């Protein structure tokens, strides 16, 4: 097979460009500690109410500066009684679903997770300002979807 001189130049330029691009992406991802998204913990959706921490949903203090909030998303609501957390502390949200795909979004924050049956989705967040924050489902989950909300109070 015979390549013209200019074909060889452009082919070499393309291959070198591809290698440089993939190297830059790989090195920057490695150096900045990027990893695939989390939420790979699994749970039996039929035994959510029997599995810790979802057998006792709500707020649990793990240590002086860390709190865990366990929430179960279900048909048109969140099983999350009395959500009160302190400002300035790390809050680890663990959310799962018993029925269909939901979303867990806290308004005016960077907390936005997909909640899939059979998976435990985890997100860490620190609230800077006290107040009441609205929790919404942004994934259409049925006819009562518009009523699916909860509230978290940050003190």
User: What's the pLDDT tens digit per position in 51-84?
Assistant: 888 888 888 888 988 999 999 988 888 888 788 9
> pLDDT at residue 38 above 60?
no
* pLDDT tens profile 90-122: 999 999 988 888 888 898 888 888 888 888 888
Q: What percent of the chain has pLDDT over 70?
A: 96
Backbone angles phi, psi at 152, to 5 degrees: -120, 130
Query: pLDDT band at residue 20, thresholds of 50, 70 and 90?
Result: very high
Please tell me the predicted confidence (pLDDT) of residue 66.
92
* Tokens (6 digits) for 142: 């049925």
At residue 58, the 3 state secondary structure works out as strand
Mean pLDDT (whole number) for 123-151: 87
Q: How far apart are CA 25 and CA 65, in angstroms?
A: 35
CA 13, distance to chain mean position in Å, is 40
141 burial (CB, 10 Å; 0-12 / 13-18 / 19+) is buried
Reported as a pLDDT band with limits 50, 70 and 90, residue 18 is very high
In terms of Cα–Cα distance, which of 109, 87, 107 is closest to 150? Answer: 107
């Amino acid at each position: 097979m015979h390549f013209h001189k200019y074909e060889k130049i452009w082919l070499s330029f393309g291959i070198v460009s591809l290698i440089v691009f993939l190297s830059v992406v790989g090195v920057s991802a490695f150096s900045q500690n990027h990893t695939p998204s989390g939420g790979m913990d699994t749970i039996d959706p039929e035994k959510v109410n029997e599995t810790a921490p979802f057998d006792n949903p709500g707020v649990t203090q793990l240590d002086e500066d860390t709190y865990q909030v366990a929430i179960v998303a279900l048909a048109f609501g969140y099983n999350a009684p009395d959500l009160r957390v302190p400002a300035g502390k790390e809050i680890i949200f663990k959310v799962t679903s018993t029925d269909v795909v939901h979303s867990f979004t806290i308004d005016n924050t960077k907390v936005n997770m997909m909640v899939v049956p059979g998976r435990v989705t985890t997100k860490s967040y620190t609230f800077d300002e006290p107040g009441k924050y609205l929790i919404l489902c942004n994934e259409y989950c049925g006819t009562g979807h518009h009523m699916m909300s909860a509230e978290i109070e940050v003190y």
